[in-house]
Structure 1
Amino acid sequence: MSAPHVPKVAGIDPAVPAPAHNSAAKPSKTPAGTEGGPPVPPAQDVRPVDQLAVVQDRLAGWISDLTTLHELTERLARTDSLDNALHELVHAGAALVGARRGMIVLEPADGRGPDTTVGLGLGQADIGTIETIPRSAASYGRILDGLPQEDAGSPDRLEVAHPDLRNEPDLDPRHREVAARLGYAASYAVPLATDADGRLGAAVWLYDEPTEPVERQRHLVGLYTRYAAEHLARHLDLTRARSTVETIREELLPSRLPRLTGVRLAVRHRTGPGGGGDWYDALPLPEGALGLAVGGVTGSGPSAVAAMGRLRASLRAYAVMEGEDPVAVLSDLELLLRLTEPARSATALFAYCEGRTLLMAGAGHCPPLIVGDRRTEFVETSLSAPLGMLSCWEAPSVEFEVEPGETLLLYSDGLLHRTGEPMDRAFARLHAAAASVPRSVRDDPEAVADHVLHTVLPDGRATADGPEDVVLLAVRFD
């Protein structure tokens, strides 16, 4: 079967034939004895105007290629996550080589992950089918496992091309079977690598008919993937750093909530991309009491996470020693903050629960919200400064009762800030969300937390990355 015409892509034209060279004009010769007769015609010459047209066409092609590469790299540079960068790469590469389908296999050589596969025109089932090909026979597997130079195409460019999978004699039978099942007849694969990080993965594009990219397309996709690999490496470093901060942060927070008679708890926690310093806690105290805490330190990143861990651990110790006096607990925490973190401030709220009676103190933190069948109201607390803001912090505690079947909501101010509204309107939105909890689910703190979170932050804002951490702790009193 003859190879079909490669689809035309904006900025990528067929190769222009090399221009013919001009021959110097030779003087007319008259054969001997025929003086004055007709001259012998000179050799066929290429006129200068034709030569100039060929050069202009070639320059126009180069300019078009550079424009296309510039546009594609600009689009790639605007991607804000590793997943978006991978999707942009597989789309742009398909356009450059004239393919309709493809996949990117991300598998960093250092073994630190993340390992993932992104497809274009391929569903998860299709990708799973391709992964059943023995790794040594799959083009991406050969690249990831270290392609021998003699099998890698030209010395300066690693690539694996299968122009006609149906008729390739040495092809693994499983590879041919998968190609026939998924309906592709040719493939072209290149590595994704940088000098500093080594191989990050491989890109594979699939053709519906036997074909392969022409030299010009190979050159363009080579230039593009070299830039793309550097961009992926930067996203990979950022993703790993965020994952490390998130892991440390999660380890510093409770691994599970306590189970106490007459009390059920649920928590929803979202971390901003910078890894902020908001925390929550629920710990059993002597004589069957329960300590509840929410708070947050200023700043973001690893230093804020470390400060959060230190403050939370200290608050736990103070709560065990003198939890029945929330003001004393926060006073001790404030003294520790001023001595160990003089450049940082923090908000905190601590409540000592004995049965359905709560004694609570707050330092610059948002007031809790009581949700029940007969009321939805904020707990009235006295205004107080955050910890570390004054030379000596002090604020009175407040005592209140919750009724059987009511739920107490403790939350961080990130929940309000993520609404993007002024604080008074954000508080009103939170109150309305709590009041609208369906009666059929009010006895389930998990359902109450989900309803409030997704009502206050609709349209996916509850799960999307945001500049603010979100903590929502729901405490149901039976």
Structure 2
Amino acid sequence: MSAPHLPKVAGINSAVPTPAASSNPATPAMSSASATDAVADTARSAALPAPGAVIQDRLAGWVSDLTTLHELTERLARVGTLDDALHEVLRAGAALVGAPRGLVVLEPADGLGPRTTLGLGLSRADLGHIETVPRAATPHGRLLDSLATAPGDGGELVQRDLLAHSGLDPRARQVATRLGCAASYARGLATTTAGRLGAVVWLYDEPAEPAERHRHLVGLYLRHATEHLARLLELERGRASLAAVRDGLLPSRLPRVPGVRLAARHRSGPHGGGDWYDALPLPEGALGLSVGSVTGTGPAAVAAMGRLRASLRAYAVMEGEDPVAVLSDLELLLRMTEPVRSATALFAYCEPVLRRITLAGAGHCPPLVTGERRTEYVETSLSAPLGMLACWEAPSVELRTAPGETVLLCTDGLLHRTGESPDLAYRRLRGIAADIPAALREDPGAVADHVLECMLPDGLDHSGGEEDVVLLAVRFD
């Protein structure tokens, strides 16, 4: 009995087995298992990218990484203060390692400071809780201690699952649970020249750790960032030292003289300037008031300011009732000791009992008198700054104040920091003084603060100017 014929399908004869794919008739046909393996090998070969595509992908990844590092380092280079740079390092590292929160601890190995702790996504209370953890139980503490004993390039510390670690300090476990922190990645901040600067830690909400590629990227970034932080640290220390010297050259407190109340506000520019103010008790119940500014910035300008202010005090004691003579002597001293500098100055001889002021100015902005009934500038003679002419001399003017009025003496920095033209800045200052609330007029300190806040609403640190700002408020009872 013959076998039944299977139905035919167009192009396929199911009754005839497919021959082996070979032109050699002596080669036996593949088994079904061998055929299956061959098909799988062919599929895998088809799925693998060509060698050129692999190289292109790697090059694209490298270019992407280099572009990211370039952008992050450029952003860091535009930062000019140490605190802003630390915040930028936190944000950049968080983006590279994929962590939402973090903190950076600045602790220079030389012990000269400053020492600070800043957080990303952490409140002051959160940072306070972290500080209660024993130092040896924190990742940044362990890195800082290891850098103190064996300085290197910073090092790293990975904690993939904090809560699963059996040897975790109980207080550290409690704080990690409170903050919802499940993992951390820490890097030390150190340079070969400056040594240890600090450590930075990024925190994860779930057990995790950055990939090897991301750790490499953040290491490259921190190598550049640490050098930048070291430079900013030196600048910060220089500014702090200069500020300490400048503050030591200015009055530590204002004198108490019956009939008047005094308040002063002095803010230095980023490079340190030569503005000053002074209030000196004189014989017979009088009071000498002065404000001034030396050209230039930096330590040399601060030193010149200190010499001029000290000399002016001596001249005020000897001939304070004649402000013109005081400034004439100061001008002669300036030409002899500081031939390459000039200065503006204003000196006032104040008699509180009579509420009378005799003053003279050398290239300085005029005082502003403000009260309930008037707000006006004192008309002083137009005069060049000290050191600009062969011989300086200008007539003095006399001013009488009413009870409750306040006289404002300021330096040009207050006007220049506004970024406006001199005329507009003068009008603005007068308008602000005229609109001082009645509740503030009793306190010269409140008056000074109100004027500064209105003249520079963005604050002295963000006004864009580099000059010092001095404001001396004198209220007559």
Deviation of 1:50 after TM superposition, in Å, equals 2.9
Distance 2:408 2:462 in 1: 19
* Residues 271 and 465, structure 1, Cα contact 8 Å, conserved in 2: no
The 1:387/1:180 distance shift into structure 2, 3 A limit, reads same
The aligned counterpart of 2:3 is: none
Secondary structure at the counterpart of residue 439 of structure 2: helix
- Please list the CA deviations of residues 403-456 of structure 1 after superposition, one character each: whole Å capped at 9, or x if unmatched: 111111111011111121111111111111111112232121112112222222
Distance 1:118 1:254 in 2: 34
Unaligned runs of 5+ residues in structure 2 are: 1-21
The aligned counterpart of 1:9 is: none
Deviation of 1:71 after TM superposition, in Å, equals 1.5
The aligned counterpart of 1:178 is: 175
Distance 1:156 1:437 in 2: 56
Q: Does 1:391 align with 2:390?
A: yes
Distance 2:121 2:136 in 1: 24
The aligned counterpart of 2:18 is: none
Counterparts of residues 376-415 of structure 1 (less than 5 Å): 376-415=375-414
* Residues 192 and 229, structure 1, Cα contact 8 Å, conserved in 2: yes
Counterparts of residues 182-193 of structure 1 (less than 5 Å): 182-193=179-190
Q: Does 1:437 align with 2:439?
A: no
Counterpart AA for 1:279: W
Distance 1:438 1:287 in 2: 34
* Residues 291 and 353, structure 1, Cα contact 8 Å, conserved in 2: yes
Counterparts of residues 299-310 of structure 1 (less than 5 Å): 299-310=296-307
| Alignment match of 1:220 (pick from 210, 217, 220) | 217
Deviation of 1:401 after TM superposition, in Å, equals 1.2
Secondary structure at the counterpart of residue 54 of structure 2: helix
- Please list the CA deviations of residues 202-247 of structure 1 after superposition, one character each: whole Å capped at 9, or x if unmatched: 0101111112112111111111111110111111111111111111
* Residues 417 and 464, structure 2, Cα contact 8 Å, conserved in 1: no
The 1:257/1:297 distance shift into structure 2, 3 A limit, reads same
* Residues 69 and 221, structure 2, Cα contact 8 Å, conserved in 1: yes
Distance 1:96 1:475 in 2: 55
Q: Does 1:235 align with 2:232?
A: yes
Distance 2:65 2:365 in 1: 57
The 1:292/1:157 distance shift into structure 2, 3 A limit, reads closer
| Alignment match of 1:289 (pick from 286, 292, 306) | 286
Deviation of 1:328 after TM superposition, in Å, equals 1.0
| Alignment match of 1:335 (pick from 332, 336, 350) | 332
Unaligned runs of 5+ residues in structure 1 are: 1-27
* Residues 272 and 465, structure 1, Cα contact 8 Å, conserved in 2: no
Deviation of 1:121 after TM superposition, in Å, equals 1.0
Distance 1:149 1:382 in 2: 67
Counterparts of residues 461-476 of structure 1 (less than 5 Å): 461=460, 466-476=465-475
Deviation of 1:474 after TM superposition, in Å, equals 0.5
* Residues 453 and 462, structure 1, Cα contact 8 Å, conserved in 2: no
Q: TM-score, normalised by structure 2?
A: 0.88
* Percent of aligned positions that are identical: 68
- Please list the CA deviations of residues 94-122 of structure 1 after superposition, one character each: whole Å capped at 9, or x if unmatched: 11111111111111111111111111111
Q: Does 1:127 align with 2:127?
A: yes
Secondary structure at the counterpart of residue 441 of structure 1: coil
The 1:289/1:70 distance shift into structure 2, 3 A limit, reads same
* Residues 273 and 465, structure 1, Cα contact 8 Å, conserved in 2: no
The aligned counterpart of 1:79 is: 79
Farther-moved stretch of structure 1 (214-223 vs 310-319) = 214-223
Secondary structure at the counterpart of residue 384 of structure 2: coil
| Alignment match of 2:272 (pick from 271, 275, 299) | 275
The aligned counterpart of 1:143 is: 143
Say what the alpha-carbon RMSD is for the aligned residues. 2.4
The 1:69/1:367 distance shift into structure 2, 3 A limit, reads same
Q: Does 1:423 align with 2:417?
A: no
* Paired residues, number: 444
Distance 2:464 2:115 in 1: 21
Q: Does 1:367 align with 2:366?
A: yes
Distance 2:457 2:164 in 1: 54
Distance 1:273 1:148 in 2: 32
Distance 1:378 1:122 in 2: 50
Distance 1:331 1:134 in 2: 64
The 1:149/1:328 distance shift into structure 2, 3 A limit, reads closer
Whose helix fraction is larger, Structure 1's or Structure 2's? 2
The aligned counterpart of 2:14 is: none
- Please list the CA deviations of residues 32-66 of structure 1 after superposition, one character each: whole Å capped at 9, or x if unmatched: xx955459989969689533333322222222211
Deviation of 1:462 after TM superposition, in Å, equals 7.7
Secondary structure at the counterpart of residue 268 of structure 1: strand
After the TM superposition, which segments of 4 or more aligned residues of structure 1 sit over 6 Å from their partners? Answer: 39-43
Counterpart AA for 1:384: S
Counterpart AA for 1:86: L
The 1:330/1:147 distance shift into structure 2, 3 A limit, reads closer
Deviation of 1:283 after TM superposition, in Å, equals 0.7
Secondary structure at the counterpart of residue 344 of structure 2: strand
The 1:104/1:465 distance shift into structure 2, 3 A limit, reads farther
The 1:249/1:157 distance shift into structure 2, 3 A limit, reads closer
Distance 2:276 2:439 in 1: 30
The aligned counterpart of 2:206 is: 209
Secondary structure at the counterpart of residue 350 of structure 2: strand
Secondary structure at the counterpart of residue 215 of structure 2: helix
Distance 1:277 1:156 in 2: 41
Q: Does 1:91 align with 2:91?
A: yes
The aligned counterpart of 2:114 is: 114
